[in-house]
Amino acid sequence: MPPTNEQENVARALITARTEKTPLTSYPGVMPQTMADAYAIQDAAIALDGRRIGGWKVGRIAADLVDHFGDNRLAGPIFTDEIFDASMGERPAMPVYADGFAAAEAEVLLCLGDVGTRDYDIDSVRACITEVRTGIEIASSPFVAINQNGPAVTASDYGNNKGLVLGPAIVGWQDIDLIRMPVEVFIDGASVGAATMETMLDGPFGAAQFLIRTLRARGIAIAPGTWVSTGAITGIHEIRPSQRADALFDGKIRVGCTISGY
């Protein structure tokens, strides 16, 4: 269904805050109470924004909220001009909203090929994945309390995404037990979290299956080459401008970035 006037006004206010780098101390309108309402605002914002989407972030919905919201994950767009390749050891400067919310998250990134029209399960979805990389998702919003008001609010503002760092590829991923791969995150050289993908529901391939299903339901085409940032492995690590973030996968694959601020 098309967005209501109220949803369009919220989308416009969120876009304006992002474009003008204006902090939001309160949500700019009626907070969405369902994922359908959240995606209506998100779709309106995408249309107003006009930039090309190069990927999608997938985030987890807390277990105690799954029944209310009808799913265990949420999605948000990642725009092409906010995706940076750091596969050769580069350390891109990733901007965040200094007076809003900002975090860095270690994630496995999947590149989708032609997904076609078939239905996928957790095993068959692997067939449409052309590359797997390490990476860091930058989460940031002008609304400082974005993560304190439930997943629908988070989803409404691009899923709280502000960019993606593409790290080195995981070579031979088809034959690796990704779920048990150790991952550690460092902020300014200090370890802030370590885990494996066993904490991520049904893992990165489950995130890809969720995204394909969700975007189809919203009538959004998935172009070959679309990246999927599959979810925070070690947690959501808040970060500020001038700090640096690093993620270490399998004890040997490293990706990093610095943080700049608006």
Distance CA 212, CA 234 (A): 24
Residue 232 main-chain phi, psi, to 5 deg: -65, 130
Query: What angle is formed at CA 235 by the lines to CA 233 and CA 237, rounded to 5 degrees?
Result: 130
Q: What is the pLDDT of residue 261?
A: 95
Residue 2: the pLDDT is 86
Would you tell me the crossing angle of helices 35-49 and 5-20 to the nearest 10 degrees?
Answer: 50
The count of other CB atoms within 10 Å of the CB of residue 119 is 11
Nearest residue to 211 (alpha-carbon basis) of 199, 201, 220, 200: 220
Per-residue pLDDT of the chain (262 residues; tens, 9 = 90+): 789 999 999 999 999 999 999 999 999 999 999 999 999 999 999 999 999 999 999 999 999 999 999 999 999 999 999 999 999 999 999 999 999 999 999 999 999 999 999 999 999 999 999 999 999 999 999 999 999 999 999 999 999 999 999 999 999 999 999 999 999 999 999 999 999 999 999 999 999 999 999 999 999 999 999 999 999 999 999 999 999 999 999 999 999 999 999 9
No. of H helices and E strands in the chain? 5, 13
Instruction: Quote the pLDDT of residue 188.
Output: 98
* Euclidean distance between CA atoms 154 and 158, whole angstroms: 7
The SS3 of residue 43 is helix
pLDDT of residue 204: 97
Q: First and final CA of the chain: distance in angstroms?
A: 35
Specify whether the CB–CB gap between 45 and 18 falls below 8 A.
Answer: no
Q: Which positions ≥6 away from 250 have C-beta within 8 Å? A: 170, 181, 182, 183
Identify the CATH number of the domain defined by range 53-261.
3.90.850.10
pLDDT at 1: 74
Looking up tokens 């959240």 gives 38
Residue 162 structure tokens: 């502000």
Determine how many CB atoms are found less than 10 A away from the CB of residue 116.
11
Q: Where are the domains of the chain?
A: 53-261
Name the residue type at position 122.
I
Report how far residue 167's alpha carbon sits from residue 88's, in angstroms, rounded to the nearest whole number: 8
| Residue written as token pair 């991952």 | 183
Cα angle 188, 194, 197 (rounded to 5 degrees) comes to 130
**Residues 6 or more apart from 216 whose CB is under 8 A from it?**
none
What DSSP string describes 183-250? EEEEETTEEEEEE-GGGSTTHHHHHHHHHHHHHHHTT----TT-EEE---SS--EE--TT-EEEEEET
Between CA 148 and CA 88 the distance in angstroms is 36
